[in-house]
Chain A
Amino acid sequence: MIAPSDEAGLVAAIEAAAAARTPLTIEGLGSKAGFARPVQTAETLSTRNLTGIPLHAPQELIVSARAGTTLAALEAKLAEAGQHLIAEPPHYAFLGAEAQTVGGIIATNLSGPRRIAWGAMRDHVMGIRAVTGRAEVIRSGGRVLKNVTGLDLCKLFTGSYGTLGVMSEVTLKVLPAPEATGTVLLAGLDAATAVKALSAALGSPFSVTGAAHLPQAAAAALGHARSITIARIEDFTDSVHYRIGRLAGIWSGFGAVEQLDTTASLALWRAVRDAAPLALRDGDAVWRVSVQPSAGPAILDMARGAGLDGYLDWGGGLVFLSGPGGETAHAAIAAATRRAGGEWWLLRAPDALRHRPDALPPEPEAMAAIRRRVAAAFDPAGILNPGRLHAA
């Protein structure tokens, strides 16, 4: 493994690989190695030694971190100033990782429950430095919150899985962490009714920042006897108090509303964020599906028919599914997702599934042609994570 401790080292490694046309596996700490298609290369280039936080300006809501900085280190630094990462990136324990890097989180564009209110990782990347497959250092964006100067390459890198270049440093927008967190909880609803309740909460003027439904099996993994439907408020203490009261009023027609305090809320939403409600057995596959919220319950029902379990986040619009991962189950999920106009990701899969020709939903040919040209624009020799996202 090549693990340079500065950007010049990244340039040298990529330059050598480009000249020799030797493909590289790009990773931070490799925690999302189970994602997407497996990459088989002779050499791995890791950002694990590119660490440090060169800039944190709390009053400007800005932080810059080298790409190999662990998420934990960055979060700890922000917490010193009472701030947090807005998109609430998850730590998926089922991937087996102890830690993950900032670069890895951005390259996979993973966001947690707060995405429904405050946007995804992609929405908070204000600037990047990266080394492209041409071994050139480029910057996009900057260290300010509003910037429309030129094409926004930050967005392309977010979700690029290391196929365009290796980010050496990223600059993120951050926000003050809330003083308090509160949750309203309804027990025993079916998924369709739950999504109606969540829609009412999200359509209220109270700035709900989390909206999830855990069917019985998923709720049981967190110690609840029946399904739970939950909505979160994060704000100053008096506002949380007031808004939770108002939400309880909105939900009173759905059943008895329970209210959770900050401590209970933090634990519950961390579990939702990290896919902890999935009771995983060895060899189970894990999918993540993004659809419009009202389509979530049907996907969940369909999956249950195929022997899978799961739960809903993002008001119904994010479906986590897990279970024995055969081709049949996968085809059923892909078809149901397509019908609902959404998209799927295979987060963890038995090898049989991971070698499918595409790790992502199929694209129309016109899109694929542009995608190949864009990838070649950054990595003409095709040496960065070849085949990670698409066989061709």
Chain B
Amino acid sequence: MIALPQPKTDVLDRRDAVHEGLRALLPARAVITDPSRLKPYETDGLSAYRQMPLAVVLPESTEQVAAVLRFCHQNGVRVVPRGAGTSLAGGALPLADAVVVGMMRMNRILDVNYADRYAVVQAGVTNLGITKAVEADGFFYAPDPSSQLACMIGGNIGMNSGGAHCLKYGVTANNVLGIKLVTIEGEILELGGAHLDTAGYDWMGIVIGSEGQLGIATEITVRLLRAPEGTRAMLAAFKSNEIAGRCVDAIIGSGIIPVALEFMDRPAIHACEAFAKAGYPLDAEAMLIIEVEGSVEEQDSLLGRIKEICGRFDPISLKVSQSAEESAAIWKGRKGAFGAIGRISPDYLCMDGTIPTSTLPEVLRRIGEMSEQYGLGVANIFHAGDGNLHPLIMFDANNPESMHKAEAFGADILKLCVEVGGCLTGEHGVGVEKRDLMSVQFTETELDQQRRVKTAFDAGWLLNTAKVFPLKPGTDTTPAPIPHAA
């Protein structure tokens, strides 16, 4: 288990005063202190970790967020920003001495502008909620995490979330134009806007993916894109991971960038097929789902080229969808992957490293060896175009030894990702889960430089304390702020 810092006893001692202070700032319905009502906030998508917070507040405006942060800053109280709490890295895990600022009541779409192709939304609007609001007019918001029904745009900003279609459309950072950010001092900053380029340092760039370390986003201006005329998927199955990997290289090498290029290994194919009955080939070692877009003729032309390329790699089966229904069937298994694994294993850890795509066969071989060594099953799902690997490690959370092994197995996989030239996390973030692995990827000098940027925004280290940055040895809390001066 990963260590959390000792709560500040002086804050715990002032619990009632903190509650009173918050109630003075917000409507009664926006302050939660009753343990039974705090319970739903004690964990996030990394549910093995649980901690009841000091209080939860549910502000309804940017001004209320600013008032809460100003109060916490003045009183030395830690703050955990929270969207829908679907983080798989424990990014929204509470601390005993922290106020959780939940953004779900800020769930309004403030402006939609098709002429200039943007929308302004509050941080608690769900990812899918944006697309739902504009799809009847032919538009969409591009990043599409699998959790898009629940996760919120503010949480997407926190993690710089991606999805299956980011090979073509990019991740959150590439699709946000403006952020209203509240600092821990309660200042309201306007970063960017409805225009494309901003002068000076790229504040939006550093805030997106900062996991609630630099401030709380309350309003976000997102880019809207016009939906393509149509999309269609195909499925290609191969005799080995290596062959499938070479086929991916050949597709990209031919100049085609599919909108999605998903890879599943044998255990993933079997689990998903058992769950979704999608018609996946059970004799395959590896399978690709490839999606293209455009008019029907363009789809035919691209799928024809891709089919021809796949044909060079001795495929076990090639299935080009002929209709929207057939495409949906091809996707059905992949989209149900989490549910599928959930059915064959009581618990699973979803890992999230990125690797250079050329190393995929070696990485999968070594993950297979680790799986035997640890005695835990693993299924691999891979965003093949961009190298983002999701091994799903199956374990039993009620068995402490199994849990411990699963964490160690996961850590070994992430170390392997770094060893082959990749990184610890492609889209889920560091949170608490990967915090202590940061020194595998970064030198202490590099971590200190990142910590100094954090300090420039939050000198007292009150925002999402004990996430992202390893605690310094010999201290039981986040390290003292790094001084600026040389």
Contact = CB atoms under 8 A, between A and B. Distances in A.
Interface string B117-141: 1100000000000000000001100
B218 interface: no
Contacts of A367: 189, 203
Interface in A328-373: 341-345, 360-361, 363-364, 366-367, 370-371, 373
A203 B358 contact: no
Contacts of A111: 197
A260 to B, nearest CB: 21
Nearest to B254: A176
Contact of A119 (B162, B174, B198, B356): B174
B457 interface: yes
B196 A290 contact: yes
A18 B486 contact: yes
A60 B358 contact: yes
Contacts of A290: 195-199
B351 to A, nearest CB: 13
A153 interface: yes
B354 A377 contact: no
B295 interface: yes
Given A150-B438, A373-B456, A136 B449 contact: yes
A292 B116 contact: yes
B453 A377 contact: yes
Contacts of A143: 356, 421
Given A149-B423, A152-B173, A292-B193, A122 B446 contact: no
Nearest to B455: A377
Interface stretch (A65-73, A235-243, A264-272, A301-309): A235-243
Contact of B422 (A134, A142, A151, A153): A142
Given A82-B255, A292-B116, A367-B189, A146 B354 contact: yes
Given A138-B446, A152-B173, A292-B116, A242 B426 contact: no
A159 B162 CA distance: 24
Nearest to B440: A149
B185 A366 contact: yes
A221 interface: no
B206 A151 contact: yes
Interface of B is mostly: loop
B115 A293 contact: yes
The winner among B160, B200, B294, B426 for most chain A CB atoms within 10 A is B200
B227 interface: yes
Contacts of B10: none
B229 interface: yes
A361 B199 contact: yes
B430 A150 contact: yes
B257 A148 contact: no
A294 B115 contact: yes
A140 interface: yes
A205 B226 CA distance: 6
A159 B201 contact: yes
B138 A205 contact: yes
B189 A292 contact: no
How many chain B residues sit at the interface, stated as a range, is 35 or more
Interface in A127-153: 132, 134, 136-140, 142-153
A149 B418 CA distance: 11
A155 interface: yes
A160 B203 CA distance: 11
Interface in B198-244: 198-206, 208-210, 213, 226-229
Interface in A47-63: 57-62
B356 A152 contact: no
Interface in B346-389: 354-358, 383, 385-388
Given A236-B301, A290-B195, A317-B196, A376 B206 contact: no
B476 interface: no
A147 B428 CA distance: 9
B471 to A, nearest CB: 15
B233 to A, nearest CB: 18
A120 B192 CA distance: 14
A238 B486 contact: no
Given A293-B115, A371-B200, A380-B486, A146 B173 contact: no
A132 B159 CA distance: 26
Contacts of A239: 294, 298, 301
Contacts of B194: 292, 341
Contacts of B252: 58-61, 176
A389 interface: yes
Contacts of A314: 196
Interface residues of A, number: 85
Interface in A369-390: 370-371, 373-374, 376-378, 380-381, 389
A82 B254 CA distance: 9
B201 A156 contact: yes
Contacts of A62: 356
B212 to A, nearest CB: 12
Given A151-B450, A373-B484, A120 B228 contact: no
B253 A58 contact: yes
A156 B202 contact: yes
A296 B301 CA distance: 38
A41 interface: no
A275 interface: no
A371 B202 CA distance: 11
Contact of A242 (B298, B430, B452): B298
Contacts of B209: 148, 151-152
A199 interface: yes
B308 to A, nearest CB: 14
A370 B189 CA distance: 11
Interface string A199-229: 1001111010000000000000000000000
A190 interface: no
B83 to A, nearest CB: 15
Contacts of B227: 205
A146 B450 CA distance: 19
Nearest to A314: B196
Nearest to A147: B423
A116 interface: yes
A144 B189 contact: no
A364 B187 CA distance: 10
B441 interface: yes
Nearest to A58: B253
Contacts of A377: 449, 452-453, 455-456, 484
Nearest to B422: A144
B125 to A, nearest CB: 20
Given A150-B438, A317-B195, A389 B200 contact: yes
A364 B181 CA distance: 13
Interface string B415-433: 0000001111111111000
B186 to A, nearest CB: 10
A345 B198 CA distance: 10
Given A142-B423, A377-B452, A377-B453, A152 B208 contact: yes
Nearest to A125: B205
B166 interface: yes
Contacts of B174: 119, 123
A60 B428 CA distance: 21
Contacts of A3: none
A73 B285 CA distance: 42
A115 interface: yes
6 contacts: A119-B170, A123-B170, A152-B209, A159-B200, A205-B226, A239-B301
Interface pairs A-B: 9 shortest CB-CB: A155-B205, A373-B456, A176-B255, A377-B452, A146-B426, A366-B187, A145-B386, A292-B194, A59-B249
Given A60-B356, A134-B486, A343-B195, 5 more contacts: A152-B173, A156-B201, A159-B200, A242-B298, A370-B189
